[in-house]
């Protein structure tokens, strides 16, 4: 099975929150309510510095994904 790079998620226990989940390395989720980020996997020190550089780009992609999905939903 081929997984998408991002998916949208919500949960009735958190009715005001919308989550974007990044399914490639590094796996993380963003809560769009407050822009908090939670990594799904443990990162070692070597990966951490490289990922810090990449996160700004991935967050931008996540925002673009959300905007595109909302446009498609409205159609």
In this model, does residue 42 exceed pLDDT 90?
no
14 pLDDT more than 80: yes
Distances (CA, A) of 68 to 8, 46, 59: 11, 33, 14
Average of pLDDT values for 15-41?
Answer: 95
* Cβ neighbours for 62, distance < 8 A, ≥ 6 positions apart: 6, 20, 22, 30
User: Looking up tokens 């958190």, which residue turns up?
Assistant: 14
Mean predicted confidence (pLDDT) in 37-53: 83
- pLDDT (average), residues 29-33: 96
Task: Give yes or no for residue 18 having a pLDDT over 90.
Answer: yes
pTM: 0.86
Name the residue with higher pLDDT: 47 or 21: 21
Q: What is the rounded (10 degree) CA torsion for 37, 69, 51, 38?
A: 20
Structure tokens at 57: 């780009």
């Amino acid at each position: 099975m081929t997984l998408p790079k991002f998916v949208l998620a919500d949960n009735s226990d958190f009715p005001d929150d919308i989550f974007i989940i990044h399914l490639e390395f590094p796996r993380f989720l963003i809560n769009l309510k407050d822009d908090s980020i939670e990594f799904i996997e443990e990162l070692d020190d070597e990966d951490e510095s490289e990922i810090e550089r990449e996160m700004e780009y991935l967050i931008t992609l996540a925002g673009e994904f959300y905007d595109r999905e909302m446009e498609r939903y409205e159609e």
